[in-house]
Chain A
């Protein structure tokens, strides 16, 4: 019965995404035709309906591992620091901070008079409680705070974080889930059930949810930022099929969505009733090569595959503008972006032949690539398959459900695997664990002492230009050793009706609803 369901679902998803027409990219908004929902079933000035492409599993920042959780959490919780629309780190619950010259002591001064939605005061003790909760082993935040030695609270509005060694990513980490502050009282009261009854200091408070269907938040009447929020109610509606989500935007059932099917991007961009944001996020997609077993223990064969893929074609054919070709973990939105390191090579037949010969397989070889069972990934794999075939490299495609894929990535049960990363603001969080010897996300089992040393060095450097230079040295080695073929940077795509005002795009791609209102 189970496998029947699985195949049925996969079949539908594949079929659904092939139902519709085509188009190519654009960056922002407007002009020509306008087809907006006329009556607007559900368009109201007091309720905002937001379409989400997945059901957020956990609304507790300390336990969350799915990216989509943040969409809802960013409106329930405030963060200690926040990412501005100009990509700069700004104060939020912490109104200022200082870093000691040795980079080992961070002192934060907190906003005063802020309370959690359950009335608990927000203070230094609450911050310490939150950070210590994130440092527990079962928290996915654990690794991000591994450098913390101790947390002091000299007074109610001052928090001092003492580090074991300098760790420059800390500030950007505090703009994400690690920086989201939950009410200690609510955690103590609800225990394990806090995840289903989240309480923060944010503009909206949790009201109810039906798993797989919707999540309702209501206005936090005592929000500390004056004038916010403007809506009384936020309803997140879950659509597991992107075409269904798109239709619900058009029907007016939702006013803003977190994804647009690639085939629909162009027509929606040209529709003057909607605004479309389509910009690179912090993440990347690519292919892991298992360097410990199988054909890819051979560096030349890894390089041959890496060189044979034309990224521009992949992006044009498959993503239709919802991605940018890439060759590094750092997209144009990243503070460590380096255009020359991020520009992928154009396939050069002579060079690829030469690499194959050096690898002892002048006439090509065979391997299997595991991919997640999604229509976009499958299409991409087929495009790559045909590119490699030109050089006699025979790639078999094995589609796996995501849980299985993750398990294989963990235990090295693959030859090549398409697996990407959703991306974080700080460059360290997009490279360190992936290429450091024994790193938890190092699926290739890659190990290079020089890379390890450079990655450690970057963590201690405070100036971003300096760090960017160090990362560029890492990239030179990674390009040459090719444990991972970087393919592209996926875009954050957000579309909303033009009746909605106050939307401000931030590179993390989240929909912050505090300032949104309806015309």
Chain B
């Protein structure tokens, strides 16, 4: 517990650094919100008036301090484009991406585990070849392309799934699942392929260890050797990869969101960058940073569950 608290406290400097970096970087891009808001119709006097209204004339340090001050009070501010509270925008979009990321992650686990074990156990045999071939295929097919193909096949040619029209999970679970199947399939394939390869090679290492031979020698059934002795020891690198994948998915699903017209977090971030919506960009970046830190803490905790030799807070193995 103390470990978790400590890890979460370390998050504070991380968030500070992320916020400073994001703040400086977005102010380095040419163009400002006033310019983008007024667009081509802008007149110099209009630009000046809008900049003053949006508080863009203050020195950057002051703008940053004002923003941090509000954030510390739990207020992420309002969108510079239309005044919507940034928190509302995030809460509207985040569940979509969380669902997509978690769904993708779960599906990739469900696919990667059986295939990875199969491939390692039957190394060099037909099963392995099939598994390796499908994972190469999965790795080389870009998710957006697969998405377009799935859309063409299952929404245009066969009207099986809706091509757009996300329904929130709390409004209608059935419809929600129905709209999420194709996007999850499109992103899940690649993630599953990565995990499966990782699991296969990690299992192959373990299967050559002496303790596996011992386990077999003492007469344990094949699948028990795999599950109880081999898999447990092979999991650490797989968990690391899985954690990185999940963290990556949380901020990197914008392409899938575009193809399947999902109102997700990734597209919110991209749109706000295009419109120089500083407050929304900063709020969204903070949320992503928090999520990534949380995922990392979770991964560390899972290490401990899987491998009792790993202790937290003390000298660890």
Contacts and interface: CB of A to CB of B under 8 A. Distances in A.
A65 B255 contact: no
A19 B275 contact: no
B154 to A, nearest CB: 9
A243 B159 CA distance: 18
A404 B142 CA distance: 29
Interface residues of A, number: 65
Interface string A247-271: 1101111100000000000000000
Contact of A9 (B45, B142, B270): B270
A6 B49 contact: no
A5 B266 CA distance: 8
Given A247-B155, A251-B155, A138 B39 contact: no
B83 A195 contact: yes
A8 B255 contact: yes
A351 B304 CA distance: 78
A358 interface: no
A9 B30 CA distance: 19
Interface stretch (B108-116, B145-153, B207-215, B295-303): B145-153
A2 B258 contact: no
Contact of A251 (B38, B44, B159, B255): B159
B162 to A, nearest CB: 6
B193 to A, nearest CB: 19
Given A65-B40, A143-B43, A247-B155, A403 B92 contact: no
Interface in B22-62: 22, 25-26, 29-32, 35-46, 48-50, 53
A254 to B, nearest CB: 8
B41 A406 contact: no
A140 B83 contact: no
Given A15-B144, A142-B46, A406 B163 contact: no
A196 interface: yes
A410 B162 contact: no
Nearest to A193: B83
Given A138-B53, A247-B148, 6 more contacts: A1-B285, A139-B46, A210-B263, A241-B259, A244-B258, A250-B156
Interface string B143-176: 0110010011001100100111110000000000
A9 B267 CA distance: 9
Contacts of B119: none
B81 interface: yes
A92 B263 CA distance: 36
A65 B254 contact: no
B261 interface: yes
B45 A137 contact: yes
A16 B152 CA distance: 13
A12 B274 contact: no
Interface string B232-276: 000000000000000000011011001111110011111101111
B100 interface: no
Given A212-B263, A406-B36, A408-B30, A15 B145 contact: yes
Contacts of A9: 254-255, 258, 270
A421 to B, nearest CB: 7
A141 B259 CA distance: 35
B263 A243 contact: no
B42 A440 contact: yes
21 contacts: A1-B288, A9-B255, A58-B37, A58-B81, A137-B43, A138-B46, A138-B53, A140-B39, A196-B84, A211-B89, A211-B92, A212-B93, A212-B267, A213-B166, A241-B258, A401-B29, A403-B29, A403-B35, A403-B274, A406-B36, A440-B44
A19 B145 contact: yes
A512 to B, nearest CB: 23
A139 B32 CA distance: 17
A-B residue pairs, 8 tightest by C-beta = A65-B39, A213-B263, A407-B31, A140-B41, A403-B31, A251-B163, A251-B155, A137-B49
A8 B145 contact: no
A240 B92 contact: no
Interface in A224-242: 237-241
Interface stretch (A33-41, A100-108, A337-345, A488-496): A33-41
A4 B285 CA distance: 13
B315 interface: no
Contacts of B255: 8-9, 12
A377 to B, nearest CB: 15
Contacts of B159: 37-39, 41, 251-252
Interface string A53-89: 0010110000101100000000000000000000000
A502 interface: no
A503 interface: no
Interface of B: 22, 25-26, 29-32, 35-46, 48-50, 53, 81-84, 89, 92-93, 142, 144-145, 148, 151-152, 155-156, 159, 162-166, 251-252, 254-255, 258-263, 266-271, 273-276, 281, 285, 288
Given A19-B145, A238-B261, A406 B31 contact: yes
A192 interface: yes
Contacts of B288: 1
A380 interface: no
Which residue of B35, B152, B258, B261 has the most chain A CB atoms within 10 A of its CB atom? B261
A47 to B, nearest CB: 11
A238 B159 CA distance: 21
A32 B31 CA distance: 49
A508 to B, nearest CB: 16
A140 B36 CA distance: 12
Contacts of B260: 244
A441 B29 contact: no
Interface in A120-169: 137-143
Given A2-B25, A403-B31, A440-B42, A42 B165 contact: yes
Interface in A315-342: none
A421 B81 contact: no
A414 B70 CA distance: 38
B267 A240 contact: yes
A510 to B, nearest CB: 18
Contacts of B266: 5
A478 to B, nearest CB: 19
B270 A407 contact: no
A244 B259 contact: yes
B254 A5 contact: yes
Contacts of A141: 41
B21 to A, nearest CB: 9
Contacts of A140: 38-39, 41-42, 46
Given A143-B41, A241-B258, A137 B81 contact: no
Contacts of A2: 22, 25-26, 269, 273, 281, 285
A237 B164 contact: yes
Contacts of B44: 440
B83 A406 contact: no
A1 B152 CA distance: 31
A249 B288 CA distance: 34
Contacts of A241: 258-259
A401 B53 CA distance: 25
Contacts of A8: 252, 254-255
A441 B40 CA distance: 7
Contacts of A410: 35, 42
